[in-house]
Structure 1
Amino acid sequence: MTAKYPSVRRRRVQASSLTLSLLLAIGATPVAAEEISAATTEEGIAVAAPAATASADTAAQVDNDVSRGDIIIVTARRRQETAQEVPIAISVIRGDSIEATGNFNVVKLQQLAPTLQVYTSNPRNTAVNIRGIGVPFGLTSDGFEQGVGIYVDDVYNARVAAATFDFLDVDQVEVLRGPQGSLYGKNTTAGAINITTNQPTFDFEGRAEVTVGNLNFRQAKAAVSGPLSETVAARIAVSATSRRGTIFNVTSDRYINEQDNFGLRGQLLFRPNDDLDITLSADYSKQDPECCGTVFVRTGLTQRPLNRQYDSLAAAQNYQVVSRNRFDRLTDIDASLNAGNKIGGTSLRVKWDVGPGTLTSITAWRFWDWKPENDRDFTGLSVVARSQNPSQQDQYSQEFRYNYSSDTIDFVVGAFGFKQRVDTQGTESQGINASRWNINPTNALSNDPSVLNGLSAINTQFLKSTSAALFGQVSWKVTDALTIQPGARINYDKKSGFYRRRVFDGAGNRVINQPASAVRTAQLAIYQEQTSAPSVSDWNFSYDLNINYKLAPDVLAYLSYAKSFKTVGINQNGLPTDAAGNPILSAGVIKPESVNHYEVGIKTQFWDRKGTFNLTAFRTDIKNYQATVTNGQLGVLRGYLANAGKVRSQGVEADFKVRASDRFTAYANAAYTDAKYVRFVDAPCPPELSGGTTVGAGQTPSAPGTPGGLSPANCDISGQRLPGVSKWSLSFGAEANAPVMLLAQDGQIYLGLDGNYRSGFSSNPSESIYTNVKGYALTNLRVGFRGDGVDVFGWVRNVFDVNYFDQLQVAPGNVGLIAGQPGDPRTWGGTVKLSF
Structure 2
Amino acid sequence: MTLRNILLGATMLCAATAPAYAFAQDSAPADDAAAPADNYGGEIIVTASKRSQTLQDTPVAVSVATAADLENSAIRDLIDLQSSVPSLRVSQLQSSANTNFVIRGFGNGANNAGIEPSVGVFIDGVYRSRSAAQIGDLPNVERIEVLRGPQSTLFGKNASAGVISIITQKPQFDFGGSIEASYGNYDAVVVKGDITGPISDTIAFSLGGNFNRNDGYARDLYLDTDVNDRNRWGVRGQLLFEPSDALSIRLIGDYDKIDENCCIAGNVVAGPTVDITDFLVGGPSVDRENPFSYDVYNNFLSENRIENYGGSAQIDYDLGNMALTSITAYREVRSFANQDSDFTAADLIGRKSDDVAIDTFTQEVRLASDFDGPVNFLVGGYYFNEKIDQKNQLFFGDDFRDYGNALIQKASGGALDVATLEGTLGALEGDPTKYLGTFFHVGDGMDEAYKLKNTSWSLFGTVDFEITDRLTFTAGANYTQDRKRFSTDVVSTDTFSAVDLDSPAYTPFREALLIGGGVDPATAAYLAANPTIVLPDGSSANPLAGLKAFQFLPPFLNVPNAVEPGKTHDNDLSWSARLAYELTDTVNVYATYATGFKASSINLSRDSRPLASDLPAIDAAGLTTPNLAAGSRFAGPEESEVYEIGLKGQWSVAAANVAVFKQSIKGFQSNVFNGTGFELVNAERQSTWGVEFDGSVRPVRGLNLTLAVTWLDPKYDSFTNSSFGDISGTQPSTIPELSAAMGATYTHEFDGGNRAIFHVDYLYESPTRLVDGLQGFPDGFSDQFKREVNQLNASFTFALNNGLELGVWGRNLTNAHYLTTIFPAVAQSGSVSGYPSQPRTYGVTGRFKF
What's the TM-score once normalised by structure 2's chain length?
0.82
Q: In structure 2, what residue type is equivalent to 1:415? A: G
Aligned-pair distance for 1:631? 3.6
Distance verdict in 2 for CA 1:276–1:809, change over 3 Å: same
Determine which of 166, 173, 179 is the counterpart of 2:150: 179
* Counterpart residue number, 2:105: 132
| Structure-2 change in CA distance of 1:492 and 1:75 (3 Å) | closer
CA distance in 1, matches of 2:584, 2:350: 66
Specify whether residues 398 and 584 from structure 1 end up closer, same or farther in structure 2 by C-alpha distance, changes over 3 A only. farther
- Cα 1:182/1:81, change in 2 over 3 Å: closer
1:604 aligns with 2:649: yes
* Match in the other structure for 1:588: 633
Deviation at residue 82 of structure 1 after TM alignment: 4.1
Choose from 576, 580, 591 the match for 2:609.
576
Residue 112 (1) aligns with residue 101 (2): no
Name the SS of the counterpart of 2:450 in structure 1.
strand
Deviation at 1:144, TM superposition (A): 3.2
1:72-119 deviations in whole A, cap 9, x for unaligned?
346899998642222111100002211221211111111111000111
Correspondence for 2:786: 773
TM-superposed deviation, 1:681: 1.5
- Residue number in structure 2 paired with 1:466: 455
1:729 partnered with 2:739: yes
Does residue 434 of structure 1 match 2:434? no
Comparing 466-475 with 754-763, which one deviates more in the overlay?
A: 754-763
Shift of 1:127: 1.1
Percent sequence identity over matched residues? 29
When residues 566 and 765 of structure 1 are mapped into structure 2, their CA distance, relative to the original with a 3 A threshold, is farther
Q: Assess if the C-alpha contact under 8 Å between 2:14 and 2:165 holds in 1.
A: no
From the superposition, tell whether residues 401 and 805 of structure 1 become closer, same or farther in structure 2 (CA, over 3 Å). Answer: same
After superposition, give the CA deviation of every residue in 1:541-576 in whole Å (9 maximum; x if it has no partner).
111101111222222111111122221233222423
Please list the CA deviations of residues 626-674 of structure 1 after superposition, one character each: whole Å capped at 9, or x if unmatched: 1114343x3xxx2132111111122111101113344111111010122
Query: Residue 479 of structure 1: SS of its match in structure 2?
Result: coil
Q: What is the Cα deviation at residue 253 of structure 1?
A: 1.1
Aligned to 1:536: 568
Task: For 1:703-714, list aligned pairs within 5 A.
Answer: none
- CA distance in 2: counterparts of 1:382 and 1:668, whole angstroms: 49
Provide the rounded CA distance (Å) in 2 between the counterparts of 1:81 and 1:346: 27
2:575 is equivalent to residue 525 of structure 1: no
Count of aligned pairs: 744
CA RMSD for the aligned pairs? 3.3
Equivalent residue for 1:760, pick from 745, 749, 767: 767
Question: What is residue 648 of structure 1 aligned with on the other side?
Answer: 687
Is the Cα–Cα contact under 8 Å of residues 17 and 76 in structure 1 kept in the other structure? no
Cα gap change, 1:145 to 1:523, in 2 (>3 Å): closer
Residues 95 and 778 from structure 1, CA distance in 2 versus in 1: closer, same or farther, beyond 3 angstroms? same
Equivalent position amino acid for 1:451 in 2 = F
1:803-830 deviations in whole A, cap 9, x for unaligned? 2233323212351222222222222211
Distance of aligned partners of 1:440 and 1:446 in 2 relative to their CA distance in 1, 3 Å threshold: farther
Q: Which amino acid aligns with 2:330?
A: W
Work out whether residues 434 and 449 of structure 1, in 8 Å CA contact, stay in contact via their aligned partners in 2. Answer: no
State the shift of 1:28 in Å.
9.1
- Which structure 2 residues correspond to residues 230-379 of structure 1 after superposition, within 5 A? 230-299=201-270, 309-311=273-275, 314=278, 319-324=283-288, 325-379=290-344
Q: Which residue type is aligned with residue 56 of structure 2?
A: Q
Aligned to 1:162: 133
Tell me if structure 1 keeps the 8 A contact 2:20–2:86: no
Q: Give yes or no for the alignment of 1:560 onto 2:585.
A: no
When residues 600 and 457 of structure 1 are mapped into structure 2, their CA distance, relative to the original with a 3 A threshold, is same
Aligned equivalent of 1:749: 756
Structure 1 residue aligned with 2:482:
493
Q: Distance in 1 between matches of 2:243 and 2:201?
A: 8
Task: Give the Cα separation in 2 of the matches to 1:133 and 1:393.
Answer: 25
Aligned to 2:713: 674
Matched residue SS, 2:750? strand
Letter in 2 for 1:804: Y
Q: CA deviation at 1:364?
A: 0.3
Instruction: Report the alpha carbon displacement of residue 585 of structure 1 after superposing the two structures with TM.
Output: 7.6
Partner of 2:166: 195
Of residues 365-374 and 812-821 in structure 1, the stretch that sits farther from structure 2 once superposed is 812-821
Q: Distance in 2 between matches of 1:225 and 1:231?
A: 14
Q: Relative to 1, partners in 2 of residues 1:21 and 1:582: Cα closer, same or farther, differing over 3 Å?
A: closer
CA distance in 2, matches of 1:478, 1:522: 68
Change (3 A) 1:231 1:23: farther
Q: CA deviation at 1:459?
A: 0.4
Aligned equivalent of 2:514:
none
- Does residue 83 (structure 1) correspond to residue 55 (structure 2)? The answer is yes
Where 1:435 maps in the other structure, the secondary structure is helix
Partner of 2:657: 614
1:797 to 797, 801, 811: 811
Q: 1:720 aligns with which of 730, 748, 751?
A: 730
Q: 2:365 aligns with which of 389, 400, 407?
A: 400
The match for 2:385 is 419
Matches within 5 A, 1:443-522: 443-445=416-418, 451-452=439-440, 453-504=442-493
Q: 2: CA distance between counterparts of 1:322 and 1:590?
A: 35
Check 1:678–1:76 CA distance in 2 against 1; reply closer, same or farther (3 A cut): closer
Shift of 1:593: 1.8
Secondary structure, counterpart of 2:492 in structure 1: strand
Instruction: State the 1:283 CA deviation.
Output: 0.5
For residues 828 and 191 of structure 2, the distance between their equivalents in structure 1, rounded to whole angstroms, comes to 45
Structure 1 unmatched ranges of 5 or more: 1-15, 39-45, 47-65, 301-307, 686-714
User: Which residue identity is paired with 1:593?
Assistant: E
Q: What letter matches 1:817 in structure 2?
A: S
The answer to whether the aligner puts 1:831 opposite 2:845 as a matched pair is: yes
CA 1:627 to 1:474, structure 2 compared with 1: closer, same or farther past 3 Å?
A: same
Q: Which runs of 5+ in 2 are unaligned?
A: 1-10, 32-37, 421-435, 510-543, 561-565, 616-624, 775-779
**Residue deviations 1:491-533 (CA, integer Å, cap 9, x gap):** 0000111122212369xx99787998999x9898122221123
**Does the Cα contact within 8 Å between 2:482 and 2:569 map onto a contact in 1?**
yes
Q: CA deviation at 1:538?
A: 1.8
Say whether the 8 Å CA contact 1:134–1:146 is kept in structure 2: yes
Aligned counterparts of 1:821 and 1:68: Cα–Cα separation in 2: 41
TM-score (norm 1): 0.83
